[in-house]
Amino acid sequence: MAEVKFELPKVKVIVKPILRDGVWLDKGHSGNWQYDNCFFGVTVPIDKNTGFLKEVLTQEERAFFESPDSGLDFKSGDLMSTKREHNFWKNYTIPIQKPESIVKEESVLFELDLSKPFDYIKYKVLMANTSTSGGNVAASWSERYNSGTYKIALVRDEETLVDIVSKSSKRQEAYKYLTVLQKSTSEMYDFLAIYWLSSKSYNQPPEDSTKEFYTAEYERLVEKDLDGLVAVIKDKDNYPIKILLNKAVKLNVLSYSISNGFVTVEGIPLGLTMSDAVSFLKNPKNQEHYLRIENYVKMNEK
């Protein structure tokens, strides 16, 4: 059987910053990803099992790079991570710098062409730092939030396209729904109140505010939590029950807090989350509680 030799793949990978919502910094602040004039370096990590530098390359890859086929000057054994003297990997560093003062989600730090030997080596060093236990590189865009230590993500062209298309579709859905809500100020309030009851990171919206205020709040949520917003929009079947829950909280038929969830005036817990409370009220065994809450709301709402 003929030996299968390693070949550099004809693939391009872009390296993107991972932005996270901060408590202290506003969206669009220059410090949301690395302060200006600051940079960090990605190096070959230590293998905790051996105490040596991690093996960045497979045997097949190392054989290729140490051969004349690669076009490089490495000799046999030069790229072993355990080499004691003149270890290529010991001081190898990939500097990561900001491409601009304000880094956005669409920003690109740099591109790697894996058909080029040194770009492939950079890629392998970055991949060696993808551990969820202290690594600072996400192996893909979809994994960027799998660890709190991830700072950058490796993104293949097709993955970027899928993510962009998905996000664009969700934004269109969100703004299409906004045009429906804007026909009624009270419906805009109801929607934002339901979102508040479904999210632990959003404050209760003020009642009897203006259409302009609610629109601005809605647009802010499109930017901050598009997935959460669309999830509320898509859950059409349960929307009437969520409206009921919101009105019941407003009329003090139910109490609501992040720590205790939804609780009746008799002290009966409906659930810690909105979805829990909806499931409780939809359960035929709990119809007595549902009808009691519904009747009280009908009798007391304006």
Q: How far apart are CA 242 and CA 254, in angstroms?
A: 13
**CB within 8 A of 88, min separation 6: which ones?**
74, 78, 79
Contacts within 8 Å (CB) and 24+ apart, 157-166:
157/12, 157/14, 160/14
Model pLDDT, residue 2: 39
Domain boundary among 106, 130, 162: 162
Model pLDDT, residue 200: 73
Q: Are residues 195 and 67 in the same domain?
A: no
Model pLDDT, residue 115: 92
Q: Are residues 151 and 16 in the same domain?
A: yes
Helix (H, G, I), strand (E, B) or coil at 40: strand
Q: Are residues 148 and 194 in the same domain?
A: no
Residue 7 lies in a domain: no
pTM of the predicted structure, to 2 decimals: 0.54
How many domains are contained in the chain? Answer: 2
Q: Taking a C-beta distance cutoff of 8 angstroms, is the pair 194, 246 a contact?
A: yes
Judge residue 236's burial from the number of C-beta atoms within 10 Å of its C-beta, 0-12 exposed, 13-18 middle, 19 or more buried. Answer: exposed
pLDDT tens digits for range 221-280: 988 888 889 999 998 899 999 999 999 998 998 999 888 899 998 899 999 999 999 999
Q: Are residues 22 and 100 in the same domain?
A: yes
Q: Are residues 203 and 144 in the same domain?
A: no
Q: Are residues 205 and 186 in the same domain?
A: yes
Q: Are residues 125 and 141 in the same domain?
A: yes
Per-chain mean pLDDT for the chain:
85
Q: Are residues 195 and 127 in the same domain?
A: no
Q: Are residues 127 and 54 in the same domain?
A: yes
Q: Are residues 59 and 119 in the same domain?
A: yes
Print the domain residue range for 173. 166-300
Model pLDDT, residue 36: 63
Q: Are residues 103 and 132 in the same domain?
A: yes
* DSSP single-letter state for residue 72: S
HSE-up of 168 (CA within 13 Å, CB side)? 7
Nearest of 166, 139, 134, 164 to residue 15 by alpha carbon? 139
Q: Are residues 158 and 17 in the same domain?
A: yes
Model pLDDT, residue 118: 95
Residue 4 lies in a domain: no
Residue 129 lies in a domain: yes
Residues of the chain below pLDDT 50: 1-4, 23-26, 29-31
pLDDT tens digits for range 107-131: 788 899 999 999 999 999 999 999 9
Domain boundary among 119, 147, 162: 162
Model pLDDT, residue 124: 95
Model pLDDT, residue 162: 60
